[in-house]
């Protein structure tokens, strides 16, 4: 693995240790954390999507992630929101895959404006609601092709990289 050092992996493990009580730390736990961090790093470097499991809460406490933001653009990029896909919890362990908050992706990858609650048929719901993992997979698959202002997210990302490499700050490069 090029460029990734044992120190980097250990730093990732140390960040995870914050949530683990000292009495639960064993050599096996530390080894598993190290494998988990290494697996995530390898997946990211290989360009494979990383699906993070739901966080686990303590007894009597429930944790539910209700929204995921999926994009090929960096998190701090000002353009990200226009070229992102949102995976949003809709109840009953089902999620919607949304482009710009109201265009809902279906199982075949087409999108349409999400109907009002009263206008959603059982057939429509079966085609536009997913398990969390299905929804994240669909969002990752379609994120590079989200289109805004005539450009896909991938085209915008290439344009931004070319602009940054040319040294021109903002605006058109021509």
Distance (Å, whole) CA 87 – CA 138: 9
What pLDDT, on a 0 to 100 scale, did the predictor assign at position 10? 67
pTM above 0.85, yes or no: no
* Residue ranges of domains in the chain: 6-45, 67-166
Write out pLDDT tens, residues 99-138.
998 899 999 999 999 999 899 999 999 999 999 999 999 9
Low-confidence ranges of the chain (pLDDT < 70): 1-5, 8-27, 29-30, 33, 36-38, 40-58, 169-174
Q: Which residues, 6 or more positions from 66, have their beta carbon under 8 angstroms from its beta carbon?
A: 88, 89
What pLDDT, on a 0 to 100 scale, did the predictor assign at position 13? 63
- Is 105 strand, coil or helix? strand
């Amino acid at each position: 693995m090029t460029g990734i050092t044992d120190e980097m992996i250990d730093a990732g493990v140390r960040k995870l240790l914050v949530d683990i009580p000292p009495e639960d730390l064993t050599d096996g736990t530390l080894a598993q954390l190290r494998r988990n961090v290494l697996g995530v790093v390898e997946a990211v470097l290989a360009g494979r999507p990383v699906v993070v499991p739901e966080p686990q809460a303590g007894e009597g406490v429930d944790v539910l992630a209700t929204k995921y933001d999926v994009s090929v653009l960096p998190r701090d990029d000002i353009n990200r929101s226009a070229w992102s896909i949102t995976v949003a919890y809709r109840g009953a362990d089902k999620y919607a895959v949304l482009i710009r908050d109201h265009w809902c992706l279906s199982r075949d990858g087409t999108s349409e404006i999400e109907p009002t609650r009263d206008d959603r048929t059982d057939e429509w719901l079966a085609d536009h609601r997913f398990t969390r993992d299905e929804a994240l997979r669909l969002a990752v698959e379609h994120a590079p092709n989200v289109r805004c202002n005539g450009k896909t997210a991938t085209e915008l990302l290439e344009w931004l990289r070319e602009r940054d490499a040319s040294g021109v700050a903002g605006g058109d490069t021509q």
